[in-house]
Amino acid sequence: MPTTNSWGNATSILADHAVKEDTAFYRSFTSEDEKAVLTVPQRIQDAWLKNDADTFADVFAENGSLLLQDNQLTSREQIRDFMRAGFQGGLKGAHVYGWPLEVKFLGPNVAIVITEGGIIRAGESEIAPENQIRAVWTVVRGEDGELSLFSHQSSPIKG
């Protein structure tokens, strides 16, 4: 059985959520704690790939926040409804891909991740320049040890 650490074991966390681990995603962030925190963006990418609004929203804390384009969503249910409409509309068949640029631990139960990547629209094979983003992820660890996304904000790289 894999050794666990204070934030958990990335392989086990992803397996528990039925997400295939992408070990290349970690890049230079290879400590056990960093990899565990980076399971949150991997879970979001997997939900996008499946266009699954429920799984996407369930990554967030109950009072989680998502700032996506001009939309500020402040609860898991708002996020679920927004993504469900998106996956049935303009985001149908789209997925996201990104990679970490930075991982910082702010306290025993809070970490910040900065990623770069973007949306790959249906029928496209790579991120178009106008869809490139940088994102800030606030990952929290609950009393039960579960990692969730408290806040996510993305900004376009090219205006």
The mean per-residue pLDDT over the stretch 97-109 comes to 97
Total-model pTM: 0.95
On the question of pLDDT at 70 being above 90, the answer is: no
| Confidence label for 108 from pLDDT (cuts 50, 70 and 90) | very high
Residue 5 confidence (pLDDT):
64
Cα–Cα distance for residue pair 42/100, rounded to 1 Å: 10
Task: Report pLDDT digits (tens) over 44-60.
Answer: 999 999 999 999 999 99
Please check whether the domain covering 10-156 is classified as CATH 3.10.450.50. Answer: yes
The mean per-residue pLDDT over the stretch 11-27 comes to 98
Q: Domain coordinates of the chain in residue numbers?
A: 10-156
Residue 40 confidence (pLDDT):
98
Written as one string, the DSSP assignment of 85-121 is: HHHHTTTTT-EEEEEEEEEEEEETTEEEEEEEEEEE-
For residue 44, how many other CB atoms are within 10 A of its CB? 22
On the question of pLDDT at 3 being above 70, the answer is: no
Residue 2 confidence (pLDDT):
43
DSSP state letter for 23:
G
What does pLDDT average to over the chain? Answer: 95
**Percent of the chain with pLDDT strictly greater than 90:** 94
The mean per-residue pLDDT over the stretch 121-146 comes to 96
Residue 158 confidence (pLDDT):
81
The mean per-residue pLDDT over the stretch 14-41 comes to 98
Q: What are phi and psi of 10, to 5 degrees?
A: -55, -45
The angle formed by the CA atoms of residues 12, 148 and 157, to the nearest 5 degrees, is 105
DSSP state letter for 25:
G
The mean per-residue pLDDT over the stretch 25-37 comes to 98
For residue 122, how many other CB atoms are within 10 A of its CB? 11
